[in-house]
């Protein structure tokens, strides 16, 4: 089997690692692979966003399965192009990917389908948006409607903060075209879950829920990032909750997409807020989350390749089951100094051999590249260190020891990934 991975971040390294474990005799290719992916796949020097070139390359190289990691190529229609060529691809069409690429579309779809979510209004006119903020008051949430690399949602505790966020998005175009349209929402309170579902467009195969840590600072303070860490499982999750998420969120959303002519075939990611009124959707994504993938997939004992290939070929996930290792996983992201703002690249990275000798410790690469000088930083989020353990406390200790062992100039990371979980159970604290 010949498999192409589109994308070159931490999520894609983790997917590649898992799929290679599932099919060790398969031949893997990856677009412009990062420093960790290069050892697992043959590099393809085509940008993940060059849909035409990738479709042509895949056709001429007899690729049996293409897995698309990032949201931008999906929003640009890469899955449509591959399917038009008769090439099996895992990822939704551009129309279905609007569930992420347009928050305005997603919110309206949820409202029409009766899916629980925060009250909202959509604006393309700055004065009207400002008037609405003054009318509603704070706290309130301002979101760029388009793709903003996970940083386009601003929780505003005061009206002034909300007005500033609006001007940054709509007037100063802080997120480019993504911010010309904004969604303003009520501020929901509670804990968040990341729920991933492998779906053929009708049924959902739900993965182990996890919790992401978006803020840059300890105790979830400071600006949003792409994610500073994640853990799984989450003790707040029980069968009744997951039944509610499936029946009230995932399946109605899939039906609404299908009715809209946008059958969703791929990975549907629901960000869920656990409110006093029950689970409500914060937002949807059209792909695996990063860094949740780095925490979830090392716990998956059954094949990921089987359902992914089935979906890519237009088959059904009905009757499929996923199996999980016991214990927990904690992922700590190592970032470059200055991230999520500006940062320097090209810092030498030292990875001690001990990191590869422990079967319960994984280092997934994100912003790295290989050079004649060795492994260098090339992004804001550089590496993700995942520890496994019989408990989350043990997994956390292992992740932090691994994070400490890595060296590069300007490295920083949060030491409190999973802090809410540990606060619930003092005996579990690392």
pLDDT in tens, 317-334: 999 999 999 999 999 999
Q: Which residue reads 């601003």 in tokens? A: 154
* Domains of the chain, residue spans: 2-90, 119-186, 191-312, 328-428
Is domain 119-186 in CATH 3.40.50.1000, yes or no?
no
**CATH of region 328-428:** 3.90.600.10
pLDDT band at 149 (very low <50, low <70, confident <90, very high): confident
Pick from 170, 142, 167, 143: nearest CA to 157: 142
pLDDT band at 429 (very low <50, low <70, confident <90, very high): low
pLDDT given for residue 428 in this prediction: 61
pLDDT band at 430 (very low <50, low <70, confident <90, very high): low
pLDDT given for residue 223 in this prediction: 86
Give the integer Cα–Cα distance in Å for 168 and 332: 30
Which pLDDT tens digit goes with each residue over 255-295? 999 999 999 999 999 999 999 999 999 999 999 999 999 99
Residue 231 has pLDDT above 80, yes or no: yes
Residue 242 has pLDDT above 80, yes or no: yes
Residue 154 has pLDDT above 70, yes or no: yes
pTM of the model: 0.94
Residue 218 has pLDDT above 80, yes or no: yes
**CATH of region 191-312:** 3.30.470.20
State the CATH class of domain 2-90.
Answer: alpha beta
Pick from 206, 210, 150, 138: nearest CA to 175: 150
Residues 6 or more apart in contact with residue 127 via CB below 8 angstroms: none
Mind spelling out the 3-state secondary structure of 296-319? HHHHECCCCHHHHHHHHCCCCCCC
pLDDT band at 224 (very low <50, low <70, confident <90, very high): confident
Average of per-residue pLDDT values in the chain: 95
Which pLDDT tens digit goes with each residue over 67-89? 999 999 999 999 999 999 999 99
pLDDT given for residue 238 in this prediction: 95
Region 372-399 average pLDDT: 97
pLDDT given for residue 427 in this prediction: 58
């Amino acid at each position: 089997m010949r498999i192409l991975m589109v994308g070159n971040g931490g999520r894609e390294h983790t997917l590649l690692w898992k799929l290679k474990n599932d099919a060790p005799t398969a031949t893997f290719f990856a677009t412009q692979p990062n420093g960790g992916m290069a050892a697992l796949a043959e590099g393809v020097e085509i940008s993940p966003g060059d849909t035409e070139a990738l479709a042509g390359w895949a056709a001429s190289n007899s690729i049996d399965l293409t897995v698309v990691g990032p949201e931008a190529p999906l929003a640009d229609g890469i899955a449509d192009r591959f399917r038009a060529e008769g090439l099996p691809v895992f990822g939704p069409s551009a129309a279905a990917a609007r569930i992420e690429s347009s928050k305005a579309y997603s919110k309206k779809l949820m409202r029409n389908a009766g899916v629980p979510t925060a009250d909202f209004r959509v604006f393309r006119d700055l004065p009207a948006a400002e008037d609405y903020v003054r009318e509603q008051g704070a706290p309130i949430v301002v979101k760029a409607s388009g793709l903003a690399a996970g940083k386009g949602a601003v929780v505003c505790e005061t009206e002034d903060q909300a007005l500033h966020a609006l001007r940054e998005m709509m007037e100063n175009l802080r997120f480019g075209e993504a911010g010309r349209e904004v969604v303003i929402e009520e501020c929901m309170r509670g804990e968040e879950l990341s729920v991933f579902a492998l779906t053929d467009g009708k049924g959902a195969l739900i993965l182990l829920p996890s919790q992401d840590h978006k803020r840059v600072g300890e105790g979830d303070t400071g600006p949003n990032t792409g994610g500073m860490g994640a853990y799984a499982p989450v003790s707040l999750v029980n069968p009744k909750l997951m039944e509610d998420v499936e029946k009230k969120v995932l399946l109605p959303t899939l039906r609404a997409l299908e009715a809209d002519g946008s059958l969703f075939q791929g990975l549907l990611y629901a960000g869920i807020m656990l409110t006093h009124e029950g689970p409500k959707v914060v937002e949807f994504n059209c792909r695996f989350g990063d860094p949740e993938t780095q925490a979830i997939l090392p716990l998956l004992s059954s094949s990921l390749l089987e359902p992914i290939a089935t979906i890519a070929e237009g088959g059904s996930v009905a009757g499929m089951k996923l199996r999980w290792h016991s214990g927990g996983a904690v992922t700590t992201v190592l970032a470059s100094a200055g991230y999520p703002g500006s940062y320097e690249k090209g810092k030498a990275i030292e990875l001690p051999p001990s990191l590869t000798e422990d079967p319960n410790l994984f280092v997934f690469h994100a912003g790295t590249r290989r050079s004649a000088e060795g492994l260098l930083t090339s992004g804001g989020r550089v590496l993700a260190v995942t520890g496994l353990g019989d408990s989350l406390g043990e997994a956390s200790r292992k992740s932090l020891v691994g994070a400490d062992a890595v060296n590069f100039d300007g490295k920083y990371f949060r030491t409190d990934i999973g802090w809410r979980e540990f606060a619930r159970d003092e005996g579990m604290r690392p």
